[in-house]
A and B are shown apart, each in its own frame.
Chain A
């Protein structure tokens, strides 16, 4: 199964943007549209490292890509609890986990004009909110609302 030529042009543009702004991100199975992922390191302001993985859907850019945190694994919260147990909750801006990883809720209203770059940016903001949650114990949603 492959990407259509229109999709290939689009992915090419996405790749160009990512290589500039998030050079650590790598493409996994880029020619298999049922398994294409982008994965890379995202450092937070405090200098902690996280790995984000984005599943590029076979009808990209027309549906929302899933984004999970693959490292550290398990991903821990304020009291050291595994965040996966929150499941889908607006309080933590998380959705039903994928492949055993915490899935971040980003772009509630997806649009094909949104880019993977913007998805990763949302992931970064969520990670900052996660660190704020770890310091204060407040829900992630409390910080994300302030930031937006």
Chain B
């Protein structure tokens, strides 16, 4: 028979041991989940932050003065099993721990189908070790201390959040007021198991599943009507990702970027996700959103309309519900992914900036443009593109193009006027 693996969080074992040492608390009930007919178990001392999968099982953690031999161990776990769990048909996972000469000895036994078998206990390490693999390319110690604000957790923003967590970013602020609905399932990283939940919280749990030690703050607010709250949530971020689905929120985030001088990356898909664009706003150094997202520009590259709320807010009161519904044209998840991926790369370049040791130095040399255009299909504003073929000299689908846009000094949002001093008779001060 193959080995049964049992996983525990190192941090929880540590805390349990402290409680044993301080309060002589030698028995702890555990929470366990089993997988694949008893092949793998996960044991927790308290409800985990991550999604629980598998099927629920009984579990206990017993501290001992010394680790006994197999015969004695079996006697101990048999007794625990009988007194604590009776004749329950469910599997029972019992972890034995003993601190011997500054070493934590451990054994684990699983009671399944009326028999005990010994498993192999594995510990899920702390963050620094979890992400040591990407060291060298990414300066994980720097990313661990970074705080990234992500506003909008639809199919785009949620993927960006997950990728940044995987890259080792240690702190997140997630803002969105939407809940997971059936219509989202086909494109979102969260699935049916998260229906009805706020996207912020569902995504947070997915991030914890990658790294239980990251810090995630969530806010279920509409930033357009809660600007002050949004300011206070984002002002200490090192980077902001604007992945919302409407211009009003983008312009509000542009304003926050300027107010607190935080580099902000805007990403969006255009109609039916035929393509998309990514804009990096370096406050007062490059163009701001308003420098580029002019009316003419937006008319030539209108947003992808993926849900009713978004469509309604983009139409005047007198447009009927039916007409509004007709404007919803959803693109494919695989057409959103390249846009999210570009946002992630720009984000990692920004977060690693100034760090010589970063393996992204050469990437930073390539990503000098502030605005990037992507085409998924030769339609709409890309209808005139030549077929991809073999060359690479003319614009084609499935390639990124950096477009040169300079800061517009006459821009009413970021131009010289916007940096004027506040006057003596400032009637707008609180």
Residue total for A at the interface (Cβ-Cβ under 8 A): 37
Q: Which of A1-41 contact B (CB under 8 A)?
A: 1-13, 15, 27, 30-31, 36
Q: Which residues on B sit within 8 Å (CB–CB) of A71?
A: none
Of B225, B298, B317, which is within 8 A of A95 by CB? B317
B412 & A89 in contact (Cβ 8 Å cutoff): no
Measured in the bound complex, the distance between the Cα atoms of B429 and A1 in whole Å is 10
Measured in the bound complex, the distance between the Cα atoms of B312 and A88 in whole Å is 14
Q: Which residues on A sit within 8 Å (CB–CB) of B411?
A: 113
CB B233 to nearest CB in A, in angstroms, measures 14
A4 & B255 in contact (Cβ 8 Å cutoff): yes
Q: Which residues on B sit within 8 Å (CB–CB) of A12?
A: 420, 422-423, 426, 428
Q: Which of A60-106 contact B (CB under 8 A)?
A: 61-63, 87-90, 95-96, 105
Asked whether any CB of chain B lies closer than 8 Å to the CB of A142, the reply is no
Asked whether any CB of chain B lies closer than 8 Å to the CB of A58, the reply is yes
Of A13, A89, A95, A112, which is within 8 A of B251 by CB? A112
Asked whether any CB of chain A lies closer than 8 Å to the CB of B259, the reply is yes
B426 & A112 in contact (Cβ 8 Å cutoff): no
B428 & A109 in contact (Cβ 8 Å cutoff): no
Q: Which residues on B sit within 8 Å (CB–CB) of A58?
A: 225, 227
A 114-146 to B, binary, CB cutoff 8 A, 1 in contact else 0: 010000000000000000000000000000000
Asked whether any CB of chain A lies closer than 8 Å to the CB of B364, the reply is no
B225 & A31 in contact (Cβ 8 Å cutoff): no
A113 & B294 in contact (Cβ 8 Å cutoff): yes
Q: Which residues on A sit within 8 Å (CB–CB) of B429?
A: 2-3, 8, 31
Of B293, B317, B420, which is within 8 A of A96 by CB? B317
B422 & A5 in contact (Cβ 8 Å cutoff): yes
B428 & A111 in contact (Cβ 8 Å cutoff): no
Q: Which residues on B sit within 8 Å (CB–CB) of A115?
A: 412
Measured in the bound complex, the distance between the Cα atoms of B255 and A4 in whole Å is 10
Asked whether any CB of chain A lies closer than 8 Å to the CB of B418, the reply is yes
Which chain A residues have a beta carbon within 8 Å of chain B's beta carbons?
A: 1-13, 15, 27, 30-31, 36, 58-59, 61-63, 87-90, 95-96, 105, 108-113, 115
Closest 6 CB pairs of A and B: A2-B430, A88-B317, A62-B251, A88-B318, A30-B427, A6-B259
Which chain B residues have a beta carbon within 8 Å of chain A's beta carbons?
A: 224-225, 227-228, 231, 248, 251-252, 254-255, 258-259, 290, 293-295, 298-299, 316-318, 411-413, 417-420, 422-423, 426-430
With A4-B227, A12-B426, A109-B295 given, can you name 16 additional A-B contacts, CB distance below 8 Å?
A: A2-B228, A4-B231, A5-B422, A6-B258, A9-B418, A10-B412, A31-B428, A36-B428, A58-B225, A59-B248, A61-B251, A87-B317, A88-B316, A109-B298, A111-B294, A111-B295
A selection of 30 A-B contacts at a CB cut-off of 8 Å is A1-B430, A2-B429, A3-B429, A4-B228, A6-B259, A9-B419, A10-B412, A12-B420, A12-B422, A12-B423, A13-B417, A31-B429, A31-B430, A58-B225, A58-B227, A59-B225, A59-B252, A61-B412, A62-B254, A63-B248, A87-B317, A90-B316, A109-B295, A109-B298, A109-B299, A111-B251, A111-B290, A111-B293, A112-B412, A113-B294
